[in-house]
Amino acid sequence: MELKTKTSVRYLALLMLVLFLAACGGNADYSPKPRGYYRIVFPAKEYRPYTEGCPFTFDYPKYSTIEPDRSKDAKPCWQNIQFPQFNATLHLSYQPVTSKKEFNQLIEDAHKLSFKHTIKATSIDEGVIAYPDRKVYGIYYTIDGNAASSAQFYLTDSTKHYLRGALYFNSEPRLDSIQPVLNFIKKDMDVMIKSFRWK
């Protein structure tokens, strides 16, 4: 009986040694792996005109929808262009201009609202928008970094009309994960601005 027990202990010790050596062997790489992200499938670029009862028209993507802004402070012709598959919204707010003082205040507000993202932004670039044949002028703000809004703009005819746009993603801003989608939607914003006309 004692011989059997000694043999069992030896086999068990040998088995544990083999398992230990097998677990320690190999050139396993235990360095941290980069975070993975979902594969994004982008739809084909197709556009349709927005011609509702507001004093402007533009082209917007077929894979987006336009809804009236339902916030408590919303005014007529405040719209949200929703990009449901990208979890993003382009907020558009229209304001009729009634005086030079009001016009200057709207321009100053657009500048302040864009630069309030300075805390999280790595840089904010301004690009001039000018289509004199259509009386469409403005500024395009490109906000780099992990800011809540990555792109903003305003359009005006300098006398009667003013429209501001701000793109937001409905998730925590991480530029490295949203960059491909941001680049995709920025092209749609470019089409919108280039096709924009006052009625």
Q: What is the pTM of this model?
A: 0.77
Answer whether residue 42 is part of any domain: no
Answer whether residue 109 is part of any domain: yes
pLDDT tens string 131-157? 999 999 999 998 887 777 889 999 999
Q: Are strands 88-96 and 79-83 parallel, antiparallel or unpaired?
A: antiparallel
Judged against a pLDDT cut of 60, whether residue 2 lies above it is answered with no
Answer whether residue 28 is part of any domain: no
CA distance 51 to 58: 7
Answer whether residue 19 is part of any domain: no
pLDDT given at position 29: 62
* Better-predicted residue by pLDDT, 13 or 169: 169
pLDDT given at position 149: 82
- Please give the mean pLDDT across all residues of the chain: 86
pLDDT given at position 144: 83
What count of other Cβ atoms lies within 10 Å of the Cβ of residue 154?
A: 24
pLDDT tens string 61-104? 999 999 999 999 999 999 999 999 999 999 999 999 999 999 99
Q: Domain range spanning residue 131?
A: 48-198
CB-count burial class (<10 Å; 0-12, 13-18, 19+) for 48: exposed
Judged against a pLDDT cut of 70, whether residue 28 lies above it is answered with no
pLDDT given at position 108: 92
What's 91's domain CATH number? Answer: 3.40.1000
Answer whether residue 59 is part of any domain: yes
Count of domains for the chain: 1
Task: Give DSSP secondary structure letters for 2-59.
Answer: HHHHHHHHHHHHHHHHHHHHHHH-S----PPPPPP----PPPP--EEEE-SSSSEEEE
pLDDT tens string 172-195? 767 677 888 999 999 999 999 999
Answer whether residue 35 is part of any domain: no
Span 50-70, average pLDDT: 95
pLDDT given at position 27: 58
Answer whether residue 65 is part of any domain: yes
123 CA to centre of own chain: 16
Answer whether residue 39 is part of any domain: no
CA distance 54 to 78: 9
CA distance 47 to 95: 25
Angle at the Cα of 121 (from 119 to 122), degrees rounded to 5? 120
CA distance 98 to 160: 7
Residue 24: pLDDT band by 50, 70, 90 thresholds? low
DSSP element (H, E) containing 110: helix 100-115
